[in-house]
Structure 1
């Protein structure tokens, strides 16, 4: 049985900031002492407003129009309240406002949510992130069409069974492994979380779905492999260029996007009087400050006047990510290194072989990589057998002493 509640509608005005003789008109919904306001998008002369009567004084055309708007708004708000009562819903001011504005969940579909996310996040999220969302969204639409035989679905109709069904659909796709499935499910959960934050759904059906990522072996170069790639004389200039830029990342920890974005003004003198790179991570927009090691400086000097960047502010002649990875594979094939390299391997190599294996504290490495949590950096520490061996040797010496 529903408990008794108080519900009222009133109208108030607020003075305009730069025009004290004018005011904006609002409807105020109050339920059990808690209220929300809705702008009626009307400006009125403040001296004609009768607050006690909730009306505009006089019989002018303006007064008649404003008072008519007040009466219509009040009637629609009472209709919204009565409809919610008939639906046996728990009523509050927000629900009445949403029903009046026709913005509650019964009017929102999955396609509407997808388009809303695109519109709002397109300028906020990075291109690569949005590209991944587009793929997830295309899979959602395909799932609706092929498995449910519908083109769209109301958000309130999406339940936990829908969530599990979407996971099963993804697992049946050729070439999509567990972690790829989990990445799509993670983005679906974020979309539904957005719908919840917007009060478009009362309960998030994907909230209890647990993401199950499998640990993937991290690819990085050990000291011998790094030296082999670094010192190999390559006949093709294009291979030398891409190898050198890869090595530059091995000694700075910068991602492909961050290396590609480097400009002359990113080179600055650091606190120690030596050359540093001052930039921002393209993925998170967080500040990055990296002291330039000798190997990285040699590569910067080598390409100062390269034709590909001559006349620009760019520091290095970076090719496309796809081409760079193709050339790297050509280099590893030539050197018979049995590892599937990508440009991101350089970042892993910086964290493991270049820094941690040489005794750089994990806290420092974490800051150089701009990890938000040190636990992320600790993943690198776990894979370095040489570091474990060195630490145990030091322990043996202390115990023997």
Structure 2
């Protein structure tokens, strides 16, 4: 959508700066209600000034020269305004003045400038799998600005609580044109968290002086994370596959159910990550790619058996990895086929293996949450607590033991 601006130029004199009956002439620029004045370094006899028309009055040669000069300034300011519009940047009264005076080398602090600066810096800190979400947020911000303000950019100082609240409303009301579902609450909050990270960067850069999120509260809804039950995990382990790609992806998934590794970490796993642990057994020692936090996990028999299965596989030997490498997109596509063949009704993604390790394999078997937290590479136990659900099977087992005890006491 095309940006629409209101633009005006007037010339005025400053009566409060009179010297020997002469007053300085100022240009007044107005863009979208923003007004700015600057001196033209021209003087005129105050008695010869037509205040309504904003020009000198009279037939004197000096008046004609002054008016010709003002007309040239008007035309130059008009050209500056048009050039700013053609560039597609943010058009402000200050920007027009700076362009006219040749002092526009300093780019205004706008939302687009902040997003671009953040993404350029983040290239060296974040993995592409994380960084790409900031580009998605950037696209939604652009759509919001076009829909709400009929422009593609905004000054950072214009971002306030109302801007954030309106952006939230826009995200909740957004209806995708493709196959995707509308955003749920937590999806909306993720975009706002990314915007908050960028405005916090603007604060540190001193591009803004106050935090627009100061009175805004991020509101997450607790969502149970899907995982495989013991029955579902066993069904997947025992299933025979005639198609090699499905067999390999099943093995990768089950391996992560017993190690808690994320997709990106299991794909880069090499022999150098397998070390002798404090107990004399094999451990996986790796830095999580997402957070760069060390993970130390003893290798359970089920995981070890899968590793041994692929130690001479031609696809992994070529890349010097423990397992054949698949793209995340292909893995998740194959998992849907695997779920159908195993009679699992859940929508499987690779991350469910990590949830299964936390819930079914460790916590439900009495492994302390602090230990699980360390193996998952969490910096806070609170992060792991989302997995500490009370399973129906656990309730059943605990109550069965209680029944036996109560019966025994009588």
Q: TM-score, normalised by structure 1?
A: 0.71
Distance 1:328 1:207 in 2: 43
Other-structure match for 1:249: 256
Distance 1:383 1:122 in 2: 40
The one of 255, 266, 278 equivalent to 2:273 is 266
| CA displacement at 1:280 relative to structure 2 | 0.7
Other-structure match for 1:145: 146
The one of 287, 293, 297 equivalent to 1:290 is 297
Distance 1:366 1:390 in 2: 24
Other-structure match for 2:163: 162
Query: Aligned with 1:128: secondary structure?
Result: helix
Other-structure match for 1:28: none
Query: Aligned with 1:352: secondary structure?
Result: helix
| CA displacement at 1:169 relative to structure 2 | 1.3
In 1, are the aligned partners of 2:189 and 2:218 still within 8 Å (CA)?
yes
Deviations 1:320-357 (A, max 9, x none): 11111111110111122111111011011111111111
Deviations 1:269-316 (A, max 9, x none): 111111111101111101111111111011111111112112332010
Query: Aligned with 2:207: secondary structure?
Result: coil
Other-structure match for 1:317: 324
| CA displacement at 1:383 relative to structure 2 | 4.0
Deviations 1:337-380 (A, max 9, x none): 11111101101111111111111111111111122221222222
Q: Aligned pair 1:230/2:241, yes or no?
A: no
Distance 2:200 2:403 in 1: 52
Query: Aligned with 2:231: secondary structure?
Result: helix
In 1, are the aligned partners of 2:332 and 2:350 still within 8 Å (CA)?
yes
In 2, are the aligned partners of 1:245 and 1:318 still within 8 Å (CA)?
no
Deviations 1:36-79 (A, max 9, x none): xxxxxxxxxxxxxxxxxxxxxxxxxxxxxxxxxxxxxxxxxxxx
Give aligned pairs, total. 300
Aligned positions of 1:59-208 closer than 5 A: 107-174=108-175, 175-208=182-215
Distance 2:228 2:197 in 1: 35
Change in CA separation of 1:253 and 1:359 when aligned onto 2, cut-off 3 Å: same
Other-structure match for 2:381: 374
Distance 1:329 1:337 in 2: 9
Q: Aligned pair 1:220/2:227, yes or no?
A: yes
| CA displacement at 1:179 relative to structure 2 | 1.3
Q: Aligned pair 1:348/2:349, yes or no?
A: no
| CA displacement at 1:391 relative to structure 2 | 3.8
| CA displacement at 1:393 relative to structure 2 | 4.5
Distance 1:397 1:366 in 2: 33
| CA displacement at 1:102 relative to structure 2 | 9.8
In 2, are the aligned partners of 1:189 and 1:207 still within 8 Å (CA)?
no
| CA displacement at 1:154 relative to structure 2 | 1.0
Distance 2:122 2:318 in 1: 35
Query: Aligned with 2:146: secondary structure?
Result: helix
In 1, are the aligned partners of 2:378 and 2:384 still within 8 Å (CA)?
yes
Distance 2:404 2:384 in 1: 28
| CA displacement at 1:385 relative to structure 2 | 2.3
Other-structure match for 1:307: 314
Unaligned residue ranges in structure 2 (runs of 5+): 1-102, 176-181
Query: Aligned with 1:153: secondary structure?
Result: coil
Unaligned residue ranges in structure 1 (runs of 5+): 1-100
Query: Aligned with 1:290: secondary structure?
Result: strand
Distance 1:122 1:314 in 2: 26
In 2, are the aligned partners of 1:252 and 1:293 still within 8 Å (CA)?
yes
In 2, are the aligned partners of 1:229 and 1:335 still within 8 Å (CA)?
yes
Change in CA separation of 1:286 and 1:103 when aligned onto 2, cut-off 3 Å: farther
In 2, are the aligned partners of 1:289 and 1:368 still within 8 Å (CA)?
yes
Query: Aligned with 2:216: secondary structure?
Result: coil
Distance 1:195 1:286 in 2: 27
Other-structure match for 1:276: 283
Deviations 1:10-50 (A, max 9, x none): xxxxxxxxxxxxxxxxxxxxxxxxxxxxxxxxxxxxxxxxx
Q: TM-score, normalised by structure 2?
A: 0.69
Distance 1:348 1:102 in 2: 53
| CA displacement at 1:392 relative to structure 2 | 4.4
Larger Rg: 2
Distance 1:151 1:320 in 2: 35
